Amino acid sequence: MDGRIFKVRRDTVINPRTGHPHDMYVLEQSDWVNVIPLTDDDQVVMIEQWRHGTRTVELETPGGLMDEGEGIEAAARRELLEETGYAPAKVERLGTVFPNPAIQHNRQHYVLATGCRKVAEMQLDHAEDIIVRLVPLRDVAGLIRTGKIMHGIVIGGFYWLDMYRRG
Amino acid sequence: MADVVAKLNEVLADEWACVRVLRRAEALSDEPGQLEVLKRVRKDCSLNCVTLANAIRVVGGRPTDIPSTRFTLKLTPESFADATDMVQSAQRHIIDGIGTLLDEPALKSVRSQLGQIQQLHKDDVRWLGSLLQ
């Protein structure tokens, strides 16, 4: 399968213990970037959007696929502007993880964007339907605990932010 | 106040979406008992639309009559379970959305109506869920 977002690759591997072949599947796609955008009064610029996999509306931080040859910070600024209309004064890398090494080979980069301000209207593609929400950073832990933030990649980003702030 | 009106209108748009998708679910069902439940839930959602529209007017806003895109997306082909599942997703989102608005000082005058809508959805989620078991 070859789609806009990912390709499915099938590898046939032989188990050295049994000598039997079996198929392994890998979702091939470009790296992802996820931004934690903070305003000067420590509010997180979050987005609420429909997620077809779970058929639910999820509260998330902005992010998306990196374009070919695009740098991490540039992708973070672009995604933030497109999805929220906000621009940061400064961006810093927080960390990188494998989003799901069982079936994906790509990486997920986290970026902290500070001094964010609204500078433009959102530029959404045809499949996006997004509402921007300003959420006080101090409320995020409670939102995770009560299941209002359920997206694992987003929760990972807040963990990286917590480590960053603790030094 | 504009921010609060915008949030109420988001809830209202999701409520209109429930009505629309319930109609789709009704068209996919030929079982009289199921149909009766769907119609009752749709009646509740229609009533919620009126209640929300009135609440928006009370706080000085203009109510929307456009269903939200996110909860009217349609699978092709769509099964009865798909449509009912979509309604449940919208209802749970409305319950959460109203939950964040109940403590808004600007909505004090319509708090009891919002609470009633939230409770109606909680009951209907359980009721609709029983159809899918």
Structural domain boundaries in chain B: 2-132
User: Are residues A92 and A151 both part of a single domain?
Assistant: yes
C-beta separation of A46 from A65 below 8 A: no
Q: Return the pLDDT at A126.
A: 66
Q: Which residue of B has its CA nearest to A54?
A: B89
Inter-CA distances, A60 with A83, B63, B77, Å: 11, 27, 29
Å between A127 CA and nearest CA of chain B = 10
Confidence bin at A3 (pLDDT 50/70/90):
confident
SS3 A35: strand
Cβ contacts of B97 on chain A, cutoff 8 Å: none
Å between B112 CA and nearest CA of chain A = 23
What is the tens place of the pLDDT at every residue in B46-61?
999 999 999 999 999 9
| Pair type for strands A43-51 and A21-28 | unpaired
User: Are residues A6 and A20 both part of a single domain?
Assistant: yes
Tell me what percent of the residues of chain A surpass a pLDDT of 90: 89
User: Are residues A16 and A61 both part of a single domain?
Assistant: no
pLDDT above 80: residue B132: no
- Indicate the CATH number for domain B2-132: 1.20.1260.10
Is the bond preceding residue B105 a cis peptide, omega within 30 degrees? no
Tell me what percent of the residues of chain B surpass a pLDDT of 70: 100
User: Are residues A153 and A74 both part of a single domain?
Assistant: yes
**Model's pTM, two decimal places?**
0.88
User: Are residues A8 and A89 both part of a single domain?
Assistant: no
The answer to whether the CB atoms of B10 and A131 lie below 8 A apart is: yes
User: Are residues A7 and A85 both part of a single domain?
Assistant: no
What element of type H or E holds A133? strand A130-136
Strand order of the β-sheet with A108-114 is: A63-65, A32-37, A108-114, A90-97
**pLDDT (average), residues A125-147:** 90
User: Are residues A59 and A130 both part of a single domain?
Assistant: yes
Inter-CA distances, A129 with A15, B8, B21, B71, Å: 45, 17, 18, 11
CB contact, 8 Å: B74 with chain A? no
pLDDT above 80: residue A4: no
User: Are residues A9 and A69 both part of a single domain?
Assistant: no
Q: Which domain holds residue A82?
A: 31-98+107-166
Which phi and psi (to 5°) does residue A163 adopt?
Answer: -65, -40
Helix axes B111-132, B32-58, angle to 10 degrees: 160
CB contact, 8 Å: B94 with chain A? no
Q: E-assigned strands of A29-100?
A: 32-37, 43-51, 56-60, 63-65, 86-87, 90-97
Q: Return the pLDDT at A128.
A: 67
Number of domains composing chain A: 2
Amino acid identity at A54: T
CB atoms under 10 Å from CB of A41, counted, come to 8
User: Are residues A17 and A39 both part of a single domain?
Assistant: no
Of A55, A129, A148, the CB nearest to B69: A129
Task: Give the integer Cα–Cα distance in Å for A148 and B23.
Answer: 29
Which chain A residues touch B if contact means CB-CB below 8 Å?
A: 49-50, 52, 55-57, 129, 131, 148
